[in-house]
């Protein structure tokens, strides 16, 4: 038996411990907000937090998270009546199209803001590199992250670089 | 290979519907009474096929389209609500059920009779015929960037306006006042003289008894209140908290999980299956061979090949079981086919002019080429492309007492239902289909193979089953954007004027006009040759425009350069007869500051393509440093006549650009031994955050006929990008994807050739 805590609730699981966490969440715990996209940690749709760190649940065996605290998209909001600031920003910026990748995008972005409250464009590029959006909503995701973080939409460093390039 | 063509569809529609239209008088009257049982819940009154009203005065638009990311429900509900003069805060929408009664007859009207001048007195007859036609065609398709301009324009607006008239009549009768004194506003009916104000729902019952007028008065653009306004999409809250239900999220009691595999070489089948190791895996329940499925429809027949399924208590066991299977596939005549061989075949067949047919042939090509000051030649190529929707193909099915129930995300619910019934040998009445949100569609989810497999499994198992394709199967068993070669020859005179344009390409697909150019040139011969391959064809976002937009808009750039002229100015000089195209192109150049010089290593490229009723121009800015490419900025301008949902349109253009950019930079499905080499996102890459340019979209509301938005953003991007790379480096890229081009080395080879 493996014991994990998911969104604050302890779960005792009789599952083959080599099973990736993704399928345990989706099939045993019916937490279907975490998505399957590739099965090889290439697309980020399955991203959850393990002790606050963004992890790809499709390649994380259950045995590797035994005794750990897991947060999924269902547990991202601080309460049933509120949204996480990123979820709010996602609606304000009208980020999702098909929406399938967005649980993973939000979980990755939330882990970023938790450790880096005012990320630069370069920080965002690095943190979000593992999350694919086939609807291509990257500009909106970037805007929403900055809006939730309360940082300037235009990164001064990038603006300066752009000026340099334009001026040769 | 069967293919989905709009031309076939329209002609099929005429055949199926023509007799009805002229010969049979069907008066649809008030269909609401008949349809009510399917969609009206407690306290809800169906007033029209597409409109219901509840006792809290909430209007629900019933949308005969599937949601795959494009926000169709919101845009169509805006159209309906505006004509209805509803309070937007009291408007909801839901997808129409997959029933023939909700076949999309407004779409049939738009496609078959667009612009036809039909006298009012025969309109009910025509509408009745269209209902029959749409039903016969299983018409509930989402694709072709059609929803707003067909269903919206011919269905939702008319439904909204019709219901408003019905409600006004009902109020006038109840209040005993002339109907022209009743005003509809914000979901309320008002009679100013007597001070009466009541909500729409007070008259739902009496309005529900009436026959909706078929040609109610519609608003003019200056009367729009909800159309053209930025509204938030209704489906987004569920897409940020994990509660949106995609087909993959369906959970049924006692459900098993399965995954499948078909012969990697298209056209192949199963020779033998050794299940021994698979059966030993914990959780594996069964290994099942699924027969091929022949699907026929008015769009043409297609046979989906047999497959092997592993069924287990969980997906992970099924996947491990699949990996452990030892399958011997039958050999096929295509086992030796490679991408190289396919392109050699294209080259040969273009040179030989195999069955060449012209899209357009005008003027004396031979004389123009002989008299030219300069003749420019070029061959362009693009590879096969997969769709890779974020949500891998999946479907859930259950068969009980001879009735099959399927949960799936698809672009064509009615035809899926028919295909499942055909494959199982069931009557269509014994198949129920629940369409869920799609995690992307892009054309792939108009093919029912995955839903059929799930239904076949449910029959075999006698238990509910969720079939989930691996990503590898999703990449290797797609219906692909075809690989294409396109050969050009252009003649210019002493002054650089374009005097002749010749183009021959392989593999003609829809839309018919995709290879045509907007530029004024008297002598043109554009045509196509036959050069079939065994790789299955599928509609891929913007279909034939996706490659012709790259070919023609790159080659016109080459011609401009050969003429020693600025690529933007050269286009402008040849667009004087097309004011809308000229305005779109000019605005794109202006917003992108086209004539402002750039630093060395930076470049700008421009491209223009009209598709799906809309005109789009894009300007791309790049930096190429030490052979590394950065796509810095894209400026896009769209004239779709009118933007019903401006932010939705911008989102669609951004999406179309990134989708096309992924293909231009990385997209390549290669063929080896008759099968697809690539398998997942590591070798079939997509644009990621760090590759994504800043995108600015500008909308021109020209007032012309309304066009689409889902696809028109895609066609210009590849050529705008390669034109920008040429501008920055002098490298002319004629083969995609760009990842295969050495941007440092290519310059010398281009220079050597020139």
Complete domains list, chain B, with CATH = 6-225 (3.30.365.10), 247-332+393-468 (3.30.365.10), 339-385+480-753 (3.30.365.10)
Chain B residue with CA closest to A87: the answer is: B240
Helix or strand holding residue B135 (H, E): helix B123-136
| B412 contacts: CB under 8 Å, gap ≥ 6 | B66, B138, B140, B141, B142, B143, B446, B448
Indicate left, alpha or beta for B42 from its phi (over 0: left) and psi (-120 to 50: alpha): beta
Give the span between the Cα atoms of B89 and A26, in whole angstroms.
34
| Lowest-confidence segment of B140-149, B290-299, B309-318 by average pLDDT | B290-299
Chain A residue with CA closest to B681: the answer is: A42
Q: Å from A131 to nearest chain B CA?
A: 7
pLDDT, tens only, B674-724: 999 999 999 999 999 999 999 999 999 999 999 999 999 999 999 999 999
- Beta-carbon neighbour count of residue B752 at 10 Å? 7
Give the span between the Cα atoms of B414 and B139, in whole angstroms.
7
A105 in a domain, yes or no?
Answer: yes
Is residue B150 within 8 Å of residue B710, measured between CB atoms?
A: no
Cα angle vertex B650, ends B187, B599, to 5°?
155
Interchain CB contact of B713 with A (< 8 Å):
no
pLDDT at B306 over 60: yes
pLDDT given at position B497: 97
Residues paired with residue B607 on neighbouring β-strands, in sequence order? B618
Of A53, A75, A97, which closes a domain? A75
Under an 8 A CB cutoff, do B470 and A139 touch?
no
A127 in a domain, yes or no?
Answer: yes
Interface of B with A in 679-708 (CB under 8 A): 680-682, 686-690, 692, 694-695
* Residue of A26, A27, A28, A38 to mutate, interface with B, max B Cβ within 10 Å: A38
Under an 8 A CB cutoff, do A138 and B686 touch?
no
Structure tokens at B218: 């519609």
Do residues A82 and A66 both lie within one domain? no
Structure tokens at A99: 């929406």
pLDDT given at position A152: 65
Under an 8 A CB cutoff, do B689 and A100 touch?
no
A112 in a domain, yes or no?
Answer: yes
* Domain count across chain A: 2
- Beta-carbon neighbour count of residue B197 at 10 Å? 13
Is residue B666 within 8 Å of residue B619, measured between CB atoms?
A: no
| Lowest-confidence segment of B111-125, B228-242, B285-299, B376-390 by average pLDDT | B111-125
Under an 8 A CB cutoff, do B651 and A83 touch?
no
pLDDT at B29 over 90: no
pLDDT given at position B138: 78
Interface of B with A in 60-119 (CB under 8 A): 67-71
Interchain CB contact of B240 with A (< 8 Å):
yes
Give the CATH number, domain containing residue A17.
3.10.20.30
Give the span between the Cα atoms of B112 and B107, in whole angstroms.
8
A60 in a domain, yes or no?
Answer: yes
pLDDT given at position B545: 97
Do residues A8 and A42 both lie within one domain? yes
- Write out chain A residues lying below 8 Å of B280, CB-based: none
pLDDT at B80 over 90: yes
Do residues A154 and A82 both lie within one domain? yes
Phi and psi (nearest 5°) for B180?
-75, -5
Do residues A108 and A132 both lie within one domain? yes
Q: Which one of B390, B438, B662 has the shortest CB-CB distance to A45?
A: B390
Q: How many residues does chain B have?
A: 754
Rounded to an integer, the average pLDDT of B229-239 is 94
Rounded to an integer, the average pLDDT of B470-477 is 98
* Residue of A16, A98, A143, A144 to mutate, interface with B, max B Cβ within 10 Å: A98
A167 in a domain, yes or no?
Answer: no
| A157 contacts: CB under 8 Å, gap ≥ 6 | A120, A121, A122
pLDDT, tens only, B481-504: 999 999 999 999 999 999 999 999
Do residues A56 and A9 both lie within one domain? yes
| B528 contacts: CB under 8 Å, gap ≥ 6 | B356, B357, B359, B504, B505, B506, B507, B508, B515
Q: How far is CA A76 from CA A35, A101, A104, B241, B340, in A?
A: 15, 15, 11, 8, 50
Interchain CB contact of B754 with A (< 8 Å):
no
Under an 8 A CB cutoff, do A34 and B242 touch?
yes
Residue by residue, what is the 3-state secondary structure of A39-53? Answer: CCCCCCCCEEEECCE
A166 in a domain, yes or no?
Answer: no
Do residues A90 and A54 both lie within one domain? no
Full residue range of the structural domain in which residue A132 is found: 76-161
Give the span between the Cα atoms of B363 and B643, in whole angstroms.
39
User: Quick one: pLDDT band at residue B747, thresholds 50, 70, 90?
Assistant: low
Cα angle vertex B651, ends B471, A40, to 5°?
20
Rounded to an integer, the average pLDDT of B123-148 is 79
Do residues A156 and A130 both lie within one domain? yes
Q: Å from A128 to nearest chain B CA?
A: 6
Of A48, A75, A102, which closes a domain? A75
Under an 8 A CB cutoff, do A96 and B236 touch?
yes
Under an 8 A CB cutoff, do B599 and A31 touch?
no
Q: Which one of B69, B390, B694 has the shortest CB-CB distance to A37?
A: B390
Do residues A61 and A89 both lie within one domain? no
A168 in a domain, yes or no?
Answer: no
pLDDT given at position A163: 62
pLDDT at A164 over 90: no
pLDDT, tens only, B326-382: 999 999 999 999 999 999 999 999 999 999 999 999 999 999 999 999 999 999 999
pLDDT given at position A161: 59
Complete DSSP assignment for B407-474: EE--S-HHHHHHHHHHHHT--GGGEEEEE-B-S--TTGGG--HHHHHHHHHHHHHSS-EEEE--HHHH
Give the span between the Cα atoms of B479 and B305, in whole angstroms.
13
Interchain CB contact of B628 with A (< 8 Å):
no
Do residues A92 and A140 both lie within one domain? yes
Q: Which one of B249, B681, B690 has the shortest CB-CB distance to A125?
A: B690
* Residue of A32, A136, A137 to mutate, interface with B, max B Cβ within 10 Å: A136
- Write out chain B residues lying below 8 Å of A36, CB-based: 248, 315, 392, 468
Q: Which one of B68, B240, B392 has the shortest CB-CB distance to A106?
A: B240
pLDDT given at position A154: 59
Do residues A50 and A90 both lie within one domain? no
- Write out chain B residues lying below 8 Å of A101, CB-based: 390, 439
| B540 contacts: CB under 8 Å, gap ≥ 6 | B385, B387, B442, B443, B444, B480, B481, B546
Helix or strand holding residue A127 (H, E): helix A121-127
User: Quick one: pLDDT band at residue B154, thresholds 50, 70, 90?
Assistant: confident
Q: Which one of B233, B391, B623 has the shortest CB-CB distance to A100?
A: B391
Burial state string for B529-549 with b = 16 or more CB within 10 A and e = fewer than 16 = bebebbbbbbbbbbbbbbbbb
Residues paired with residue B109 on neighbouring β-strands, in sequence order? none
For chain A, what percent of residues have pLDDT higher than 90? 87
Q: Which residue has the tokens 């344009």?
A: B501
Of A75, A102, A123, which closes a domain? A75
Could you tell me whether strands B307-312 and B256-262 are parallel, antiparallel, or unpaired per DSSP bridges?
A: antiparallel
Under an 8 A CB cutoff, do A136 and B655 touch?
yes
| Lowest-confidence segment of A136-150, B111-125, B269-283 by average pLDDT | B111-125
Do residues A153 and A110 both lie within one domain? yes
pLDDT, tens only, B168-208: 999 999 999 999 999 999 999 999 999 999 999 999 999 99
- Write out chain A residues lying below 8 Å of B468, CB-based: 36
Do residues A80 and A155 both lie within one domain? yes
Q: Which of A148-152, B204-208, B399-403 has the highest mean pLDDT?
A: B399-403
- Beta-carbon neighbour count of residue A84 at 10 Å? 20
pLDDT given at position B25: 28
Give the CATH number, domain containing residue A145.
1.10.150.120
Chain A residue with CA closest to B657: the answer is: A136
A10 in a domain, yes or no?
Answer: yes
CA dihedral B309, B315, B320, B326 (to 10 degrees): 0
Under an 8 A CB cutoff, do A132 and B246 touch?
no
Under an 8 A CB cutoff, do B283 and A16 touch?
yes
């Amino acid at each position: 038996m493996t014991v994990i805590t998911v969104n604050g609730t302890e779960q005792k699981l009789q599952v083959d411990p080599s099973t990736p966490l993704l399928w345990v969440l989706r099939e045993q715990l019916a937490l279907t907000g975490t998505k399957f996209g590739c099965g090889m940690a290439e697309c980020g749709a399955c991203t959850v937090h393990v002790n606050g760190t963004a992890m790809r649940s499709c390649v994380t065996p259950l045995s590797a998270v035994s005794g750990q605290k897991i947060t999924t998209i269902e547990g991202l909001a601080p309460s049933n009546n509120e949204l996480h600031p990123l979820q709010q920003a996602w609606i304000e910026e009208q980020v999702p199209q098909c929406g399938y990748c967005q649980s993973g995008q939000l979980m990755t972005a939330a882990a970023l803001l938790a450790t880096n409250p005012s990320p630069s464009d370069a920080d965002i590029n690095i943190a979000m590199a593992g999350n694919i959006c086939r609807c291509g909503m990257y500009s909106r995701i970037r805007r929403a992250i900055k809006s939730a973080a309360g940082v300037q939409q235009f990164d001064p460093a990038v603006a300066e670089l752009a000026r340099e390039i334009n001026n040769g | 290979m069967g293919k989905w063509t709009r031309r076939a569809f329209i002609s099929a529609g005429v055949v199926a519907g023509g007799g009805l239209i002229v010969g049979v008088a069907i008066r649809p009257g008030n269909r609401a009474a008949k349809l009510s049982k399917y969609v009206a819940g407690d306290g809800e009154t169906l007033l029209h096929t597409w409109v219901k009203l509840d006792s809290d005065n909430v209007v629900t638009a019933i949308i005969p389209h599937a949601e795959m990311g494009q926000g169709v429900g919101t845009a169509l509900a805006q159209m309906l609500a505006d004509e209805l003069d509803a309070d937007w805060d009291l408007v909801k929408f839901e997808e129409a059920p997959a029933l023939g009664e909700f076949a999309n007859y407004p779409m049939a009207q738009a496609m078959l009779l667009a612009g036809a001048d039909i006298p009012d007195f025969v309109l009910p007859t025509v509408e009745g015929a269209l209902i029959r036609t749409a039903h016969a065609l299983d018409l509930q398709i989402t694709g072709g960037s059609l929803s707003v301009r067909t269903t919206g324009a011919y269905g939702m607006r008319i439904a909204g306006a019709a219901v408003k008239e019905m409600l006004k009549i009902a109020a006038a009768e109840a209040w005993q006042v002339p109907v022209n004194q009743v005003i509809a506003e914000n979901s309320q009916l008002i009679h100013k003289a007597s001070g009466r104000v009541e909500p729409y729902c007070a008259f739902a019952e009496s309005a529900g008894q009436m026959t909706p007028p078929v040609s109610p008065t519609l608003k003019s653009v200056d009367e729009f209140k909800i159309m053209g306004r930025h509204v938030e999409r209704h489906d987004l809250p569920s897409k940020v908290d994990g509660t949106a239900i995609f087909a993959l999220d369906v959970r049924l009691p006692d459900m098993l999980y399965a995954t499948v595999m078909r012969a990697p070489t298209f056209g192949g089948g199963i020779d033998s299956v050794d299940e021994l190791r698979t059966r030993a895996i914990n959780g594996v329940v069964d290994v099942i061979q699924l027969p091929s499925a022949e699907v026929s429809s008015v769009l043409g027949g297609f046979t989906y090949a047999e497959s092997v399924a592993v069924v287990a208590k969980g997906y992970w066991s099924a996947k491990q079981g699949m990996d452990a299977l030892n399958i011997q596939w039958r050999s096929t005549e295509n086992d030796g086919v490679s991408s190289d061989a396919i392109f050699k075949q294209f080259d040969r067949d273009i040179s030989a002019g195999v069955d060449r047919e012209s899209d357009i042939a005008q003027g004396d090509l031979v004389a123009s080429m002989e008299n030219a000051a300069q003749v420019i030649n070029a061959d362009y190529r693009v590879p096969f492309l997969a769709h890779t929707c974020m949500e891998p193909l999946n479907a859930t099915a259950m068969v009980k007492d001879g009735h099959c129930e399927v949960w799936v995300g698809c672009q064509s619910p009615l035809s899926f239902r028919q295909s499942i019934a055909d494959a199982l040998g069931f009557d269509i009445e014994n198949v129920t289909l629940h369409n869920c949100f799609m995690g992307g569609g892009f054309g792939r989810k108009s093919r029912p193979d995955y839903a059929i497999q799930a239904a076949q499994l449910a029959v075999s198992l006698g238990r509910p089953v969720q079939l989930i394709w691996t990503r590898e199967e999703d990449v290797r068993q797609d219906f692909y954007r075809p690989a294409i070669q396109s050969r050009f020859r252009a003649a210019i005179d002493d002054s650089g004027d374009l005097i002749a344009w010749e183009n021959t390409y392989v593999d003609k697909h829809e839309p018919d006009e995709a290879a045509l150019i907007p530029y004024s040139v008297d002598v043109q011969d554009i045509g196509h040759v036959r050069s079939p391959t065994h790789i299955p064809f599928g509609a891929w976002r913007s279909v034939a425009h996706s490659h012709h937009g790259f070919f023609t808009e790159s080659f016109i750039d080459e011609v401009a350069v050969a003429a020693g002229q600025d690529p933007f100015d050269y286009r402008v000089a040849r667009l004087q007869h097309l004011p809308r195209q000229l305005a779109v192109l000019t605005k794109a150049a202006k917003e992108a500051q086209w004539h402002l010089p750039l630093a060395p290593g930076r470049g700008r490229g421009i491209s223009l393509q009209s598709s799906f009723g809309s005109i789009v121009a894009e300007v791309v800015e790049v930096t190429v440093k030490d052979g590394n490419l950065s796509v810095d900025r894209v400026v896009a301008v769209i004239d779709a006549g009118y933007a019903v949902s401006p932010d939705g349109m911008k989102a669609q253009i951004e999406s179309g650009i990134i989708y096309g950019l992924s293909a231009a930079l990385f997209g390549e499905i290669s063929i080896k031994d008759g099968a697809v080499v690539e398998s997942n996102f590591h070798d079939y890459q997509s644009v990621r955050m760090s590759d994504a340019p800043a995108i600015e979209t500008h909308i021109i509301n020209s007032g012309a006929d309304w066009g689409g938005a889902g696809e028109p953003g895609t066609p210009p991007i590849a050529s705008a990008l390669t034109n920008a790379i040429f501008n920055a480096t002098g490298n002319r890229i004629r083969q995609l994807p760009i990842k295969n081009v050495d941007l440092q080395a290519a310059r010398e080879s281009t220079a050597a050739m020139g």
